[in-house]
Chains A and B, each alone.
Chain A
Amino acid sequence: MAAPASSPEVNTRREAARTPSSGWRATLLRIVSTRWSLRAWYGGIVAFFLFMVLLPTLFVLGYVAADWASVKAVLGDPAKASLIPHALWLSFGVALTVAALDLLAGLPLAWLIVRHDFRGKSWFNTLVDSPLAVTTAGLGFSVVLFWGVSSKITLFPPGAVHLTDSAFLILVLLHLTTTFPYMVRSLAAILEEIDVEYENAARAAGASRLTAARTITLPMFRSGMATGLLLVLAKALSDTGGALTALTLIGAVDRNEFNGTALIGTWKGLAGSDPALQPALAFVSALMILLSLVLLVVVKYVAVRLKVPLRRVRPRLERKLSGPPYPRLRNVGAMAFLVVFILVPSFFFLTFLAVAPPSDVNWGRFWNAVGVSFLVGGVATAIDLATGVPLAILITRGRFRRLGKALDALVNIPYIVPSAALGISLSLFWGSQRTIVPSDVVLVTFAHVAFTFPFVVRNAVGALEQLDPATEETARTLGARPVQVFRRVLFPAIRPAILAGSIMAFTRSLGETGATQAVSTTTETVPIYIVNLITQTKDYYQAALAQLALLFVSFAAILFLRLVLERRRARG
């Protein structure tokens, strides 16, 4: 190997290079790199998580336990107590039904997306995700318009099905639209990870296509199913805006039929004039929180270990089902489900704009609500980023394994807890601290931080787990201090995941009704504006138009966010 002769500069540079850099940047770097400042920083992050996220979320449990006497008094009132079991059924029964349906229909669709190549695939992907762009309140209206029987809506567009006014059925149909994209996304993500070679090996060993997929691939993504199920359950359980609008429109509210979150929303509205409702609110919230925690544990830790009784193979039947025309039927079926149960009901409200007589939209109120939504969502996402990413680093790279694991599990809690219940808990927690929380908007922002926080942390943890620790170690030995390792190596590598997490957090905040309503009766974000238009002023045209406008606004916002971050990447 011919190497260039050692130049005279080489020796001088060795000397010069060693001279330590000075100036305020170097000094700052030295200070923030000391062991103590790192410890203080991480301690602060954990404290933030515990006191700003976890404790407020679970506070209501202690509150109910401490004030059991007043809860008992409420339970003595049959008019209130009788609503609770049915509400829980309409929350949990619906969520579980929806989860099962999502899984059944999502599997073939995820398969289609991952294992087949076809033209316009990215468009198709966007189409699957598109219902997420509509607020759940908008979806509630849209779904009732398509499927429902309603005496409140006097004018139905052509094509409306007029199927039912059953609360259970309408809620199931509604939550299919709010959750299906999540299920398809998580299943597809895991399927993407699984090497096709496993299936090929099984097929080479004589298994039919169906047998190979069923016995080899499916068991491998049990954890993906768990993730998908949790997302779906959390979303279905949390939704307030959609349930409130849908239940109002089909007349269920007039029949005194509520699901858990709608009950919380309604009682919260009445609690101002009837303080006796306060313990009842706390009790329902505590119940919702407890039940969802049980659900979290069951899905995350029990269901994953269950053995699926699918061992038996019927070779001939399965071979027959693997050949034509069945795969095509499966694909067509999956597409039909997507169109009939998800896409058309989600966007059916647009047809209403065509048939209904226009009415004047109060654009001032609309833009005001947009402003509040973006302010709350933006600030909450920024706080999530500033605290969630360090927490993710602590979870994946911390010296104390147990602490990391515990934090990792705890982060899921605010995410599975129904946000309306979380809101009640949070407002009880901060209620007496009006000096820290001077205004409702601040309280709403706190609530939004609590339930969006897991999105950023989860995404960052996922990306960090993918990243080889040797990369950071090498950077350290090459002379980089921890802060430099983060800025130059770690952050650039996990930026796409953080971006995805922030978008999830931001859109979740943008669409949130339950928590906002539960902590403040005066703050009007866009979804609450839409809910109010439908449930109070019954101005459906305005609601549909506002929803459409919001679609454009959020699309522009996400595009802008992407553009800014992409440009920074190109520069950096």
Chain B
Amino acid sequence: MAEVVLDRVSKSFGSKRALRDMDLTIRNGEYLVVLGPSGAGKTTLLRTIAGLLAPDRGRVVIGGRDVTRMPPDARGVAYMPQTYALFERMTVWENATFSPTVKGWPKEQRDLLAREMLSMVRLIDRAEAYPRELSGGMQQRCALARALAADAEVLLLDEPLRALDARLRIELRNELRGLIQHVGTTTVHVTHDQEEALILADRIAVLRGGQLLEVGTAEDIYARPSSAFVANFLGEMSFFEATAFPSEDGTARLAAGGTNLLASARAGLTGRVLAGIRAESCRVAPPDWRAGQGVEGVVRRRLFMGRRISLEVDAGELGPLKVKPLTAQARWVREGERVFVVMPEEDILLFPMPAGGVSAALEVE
């Protein structure tokens, strides 16, 4: 266990700046998920900590030691790449004992540790198997056991769930968290899947274009994202431009198109703002019901998704709105019909108007 500190770390590949002056502290024993679209610099960040890439500038400090110039084998980290990179010609047992063996630990300790880790990931019965004989989920657990058996101070996981199919991914997601919590190792987990991030993370760090946008607990970031990009990346949002008039009681009156809405005010935000609401926070009602504040519109598209229904509602001057009500509540909605979209006051988020335009601010690539 150790604290990891990135101190103004920069790394470029040719003209592409993969990391820009990154300052990030990963607390001792913390499970940090680095979230961002592809090309955000997530893997570069991980490989820089691992020592597989040398930063152009800045320092990497692990457990108080400046390791910037140290080779990977001296850093006390364990790296698990997307492909797992299991050693094909070694058995599960040999994979798990690899790290203790190359570090020259006494045999008894090595065996004890490997056995413990393999039992923990429930592979002790398959110790003599070769990686190619294992299922995808077993391979992932084997790679995890190998990394844990390194007894590293920091565990670096690069999209550890990506290669699995959807159902298994959800299953192993929960398991992964339990295992690592049990061992208590400081962990950096990289992913582009926001759901994975929300579920696993003690804290989430959101990256974009090589820059750190925000760090915080999942609930904080989800409820109070600092930028429209982060808000949108954590869950589908509809945005519209509005003029905000903050009042004394902590709310702000919004004038958007011909509609007036109330929202929780945000310090310093007044005048032209960008307002947004999550598709899942909106409900729908028949146009004459008027159940709370909201806006009327015409349903342009309706997709049944099982538990929820995905609607695209043309809300006139407010623009198109994405709405995902529960199926039980919106079963009656048909394409071409008028509906009233309910937008609860506490779910409307306000952001400063981005200088480069809304679509550029939200762009994922």
Residue numbers of A with Cβ under 8 A of B are 1, 3-4, 6-7, 9-10, 13-14, 16-17, 20-21, 26, 468, 470-471, 473-481, 484, 488-489, 492-493
Q: Give the chain B neighbours of A492 by CB distance below 8 A.
A: 87, 89-90
The complex places the Cα of A7 from the Cα of B113 at a distance, in Å, of 11
Within 8 A of A (CB), among B20-55: 47, 50-52
The 7 closest A-B pairs by CB, nearest first: A21-B104, A477-B79, A1-B178, A478-B99, A476-B72, A470-B81, A480-B102
Contact pattern, B 60-90, Cβ under 8 Å of A = 1, otherwise 0: 0000000000011101011111110101111
Task: Determine if B102 and A481 form an interchain contact, defined as CB atoms under 8 angstroms apart.
Answer: yes
Q: Which of A1, A470, A493 has the most CB of B within 10 A?
A: A1
> Does A471 contact B79, Cβ atoms closer than 8 Å?
no
Within 8 A of A (CB), among B166-182: 174-175, 178-179, 182
User: Contact at A488–B116, with CB atoms within 8 Å?
Assistant: no
Picked from A468, A478, A481, the residue with its CB within 8 Å of the CB of B146 is A478
Q: For residue B72, which residues in chain A have a CB less than 8 angstroms away from its CB?
A: 473, 476-477
Report the separation of the CA atoms of residues A20 and B105 in the bound assembly, to the nearest whole angstrom.
8
The distance in angstroms between the C-alpha atoms of A6 and B50, with both chains bound, is: 27
User: Are A473 and B79 in contact (CB-based, < 8 A)?
Assistant: yes
**Which of A10, A16, A475, A479 has the most B CB atoms < 10 Å from its CB?**
A479
Instruction: Report A498 CB to chain B, min CB distance, Å.
Output: 14
Contacts A474-B80, A493-B88; A480 near B120 (Cβ below 8 A): no
- Chain B residues, CB < 8 A from A471: 85, 87
Task: Evaluate contact between B104 and A26: CB separation under 8 angstroms.
Answer: yes
Please measure, in the bound complex, the distance between the C-alpha atom of A473 and the C-alpha atom of B87, giving whole angstroms: 12
User: Does the CB pair B87–A479 fall under 8 Å?
Assistant: no
The complex places the Cα of A66 from the Cα of B80 at a distance, in Å, of 59
Residues of chain A within 8 A of B3, CB atoms compared: none
B151 on interface, CB distance cutoff 8 Å? yes
Contact between B116 and A477 (Cβ–Cβ < 8 Å)? no
Knowing A17-B109, A474-B81, A478-B99 are in contact, say whether A3-B182 is a contact too (CB < 8 A): yes
The reply to whether the CB of B200 lies closer than 8 angstroms to some CB of chain A is no
A4 B98 Cβ-Cβ under 8 A: no
Given A17-B110, A476-B71, A493-B88, output 10 extra A-B contacts at Cβ < 8 Å.
A3-B120, A7-B116, A10-B116, A26-B104, A468-B83, A470-B85, A473-B47, A478-B102, A492-B87, A493-B89
Q: Which one of B50, B105, B119, B120 has the highest number of Cβ atoms from chain A below 10 Å of its Cβ? A: B105
Q: Name the CB-closest residue of A to B146.
A: A478
Q: Let me know if A479 and B150 touch, CB within 8 A.
A: yes
Q: Are A1 and B175 in contact (CB under 8 A)?
A: yes
User: How distant is A14 from chain B, measured CB to nearest CB, in Å?
Assistant: 6
Judging by beta carbons under 8 Å apart, are B109 and A476 in contact? no
B residues near A478, Cβ cutoff 8 Å: 73, 78-79, 98-99, 102, 146-147, 150
Supposing A470-B81, A471-B87, A478-B146 touch, asked if A1 and B98 sit within 8 A by C-beta, the answer is no
Contact flags (1/0) for B100-139 with A, using CB distance below 8 Å? 1011111001101100100110000000000000000000
**Known A-B contacts A474-B81, A476-B71, A477-B75; A21 and B178 likewise in contact (beta carbons under 8 Å):** no
Q: Report Cα–Cα, A306/B147, bound state, in Å.
A: 49
A272 to chain B, nearest CB (A): 53
Which residues on the B side are within 8 Å of A493 (C-beta)? 88-89
Q: Known: A13-B109, A13-B112, A471-B85. Is A477-B77 also a contact (CB below 8 A)?
A: yes
Given the complex, which residues of B lie within 8 Å of A3, measured CB to CB? Answer: 120, 178-179, 182
Considering only CB atoms, which chain B residue lies closest to A481 in the complex? Answer: B73
B156 within 8 A of A: yes
The reply to whether A17 and B179 form a contact with Cβ atoms under 8 Å apart is: no
B174 touches A1 (CB 8 A): yes
**Chain B nearest Cβ from A40, distance in angstroms:** 17
Q: Is the pair A17, B87 in contact by a Cβ cutoff of 8 Å?
A: no
For the complex, give the distance between the alpha carbons of A473 and B84 in Å: 11
On whether the beta carbons of B175 and A473 are closer than 8 Å, the reply is no
A to B CB contacts below 8 Å, 17 in the list: A3-B120, A4-B116, A13-B109, A17-B106, A468-B85, A470-B83, A471-B85, A473-B50, A474-B80, A476-B51, A477-B50, A477-B72, A477-B75, A477-B77, A480-B73, A480-B102, A492-B89
CA–CA, A1 and B183, complex, Å? 13
CB pair A473–B116 under 8 Å, yes or no, is: no
Residues of A within 8 A of B178 (CB): 1, 3
Name the residue on A nearest B49 (C-beta).
Answer: A477
Closest to A20 in B: B104
B51, B85, B104, B179: which contacts A474 (Cβ < 8 A)?
B85
Whole-angstrom distance from the CB of A270 to the nearest CB of chain B?
A: 54
Which residue of chain A lies nearest to B82 when distances are taken between CB atoms in the complex? A470
In the assembled complex, which residues on chain B have CB atoms less than 8 Å from the CB atom of A1? 174-175, 178-179
Chain B CB within 10 Å, residue with most, of A4, A470, A474:
A474
Query: Which chain A residues lie closer than 8 Å to B52 at the CB level?
Result: 473, 476-477
**Complexed CA–CA distance, A9 and B79 (Å):** 25
Task: Name the one of B75, B88, B151 contacting A17, with C-beta atoms under 8 angstroms.
Answer: B151
Which single residue of chain A is at the shortest CB-CB distance from B154?
A: A477
Residue in chain A with minimal CB distance to B176: A1
Q: A17-B113, A477-B73, A478-B99 are in contact. Are A4 and B119 (CB under 8 A)?
A: yes
Question: Which residue in chain B gives the minimum CB-CB distance to A1?
Answer: B178
Q: Please report the C-alpha to C-alpha distance between residue A32 and residue B17 in the assembled complex, in whole angstroms.
A: 35
Cβ of A477 and Cβ of B104 under 8 Å apart? no
